[in-house]
Amino acid sequence: MMSPNTTQQPLTLTLGHLYPDQLNLYGDRGNILTLRRRCQLRGIELRVVGLGVGDALAPDEYDMLFIGGGQDKEQAPVADDLHEMKGIGLWAAIEDDMPVLAVCGGYQLLAHYYRPAEGPDMRGLGVFDAWTEHKGTKVPRCIGNVAISWNGQTLVGFENHGGRTYLGTAKPLGKVLKGNGNNAEDQTEGAIYRHAYGTYLHGSLLPKNPHFADHLIELALQRKYGDRAITENDLFNGNHTNKAAEIGATVLELQKTTVSPLLTPLEDSLEWEAHASMLERLGLYSEAATILRTHKS
């Protein structure tokens, strides 16, 4: 373990924000603000680089990637650019276990295809073994607050999508507790491939789900720094015990806690109150009570 007096370069992460001008519905940019703030409070610098249409994606230059949602008319040029300019780099990043968060339209474009209500299919990258079909303008959209189970906990957010996504072999992000999820039919929400996460949860997602935000940050730190990130984050927060042993905890033990084994916990009472309030609105009173009881203690 490093001595408390050891001087090290500060931890830094670089996030590539794909299509910040085209895909930014329902305050999805708030996800990036949350990641930046949660890093800052731990002495970690998060650099954000916008990648628009025409920009290449060099995977070695980034540690995390984010792509938000947009309207159908905005997704068409993005779909073309994903294949022509960013597809190879994005695939390389995902196969190298870079954490990626794709919301709504971004999620759809990382599956096989999106079939809009009008016009030709938009070809996706096929990262997720899934596809999306719009049932037509006469079919009600999937709109409203939504809660899902994830990793033994809950995620909350807001969804608004006309397309219905169906999973092939892709693993869902979670099971719908209340709301529509992927298609309002099979209780699945989102999709996972390696460390890439697709979801319909706007809200923004990460401000009301600090545990998921920390999960993405932790994946990025572990991938870039390994045990050095564990030790330096402890030193920054005045805790000089070696946390590396905690990483050896069983998966079951980790699922029973909302505290990351790597990142020092933050004062998240407001975030958890917002999370619990959403659960209460959806009638999930037991889950809301558990959240408040856990985080007050």
219 pLDDT band, cuts 50/70/90, is very high
- Two tokens at 70? 């947009």
The predicted-structure confidence for 70-127, as pLDDT tens digits, reads as follows 777 778 889 999 999 999 999 999 999 999 999 999 999 999 999 999 889 999 999 9
**CATH fold for domain 10-297:** Rossmann fold (3.40.50)
Q: List the single range of 1-10, 62-71, 137-146 with lowest mean pLDDT.
A: 1-10
Please tell me whether 141 is known to bind a ligand: yes
Where would I find the beta strands (DSSP E) of the chain? 12-18, 45-51, 64-67, 100-103, 113-115, 122-123, 130-134, 142-150, 153-161, 163-167, 174-178, 188-189, 191-193, 196-199
Domain boundaries, the chain: 10-297
Q: Which residues pair with 56 in a beta bridge?
A: none
Residue 243 has pLDDT above 70, yes or no: no
What are the catalytic residues?
A: 104, 202
228 pLDDT band, cuts 50/70/90, is low
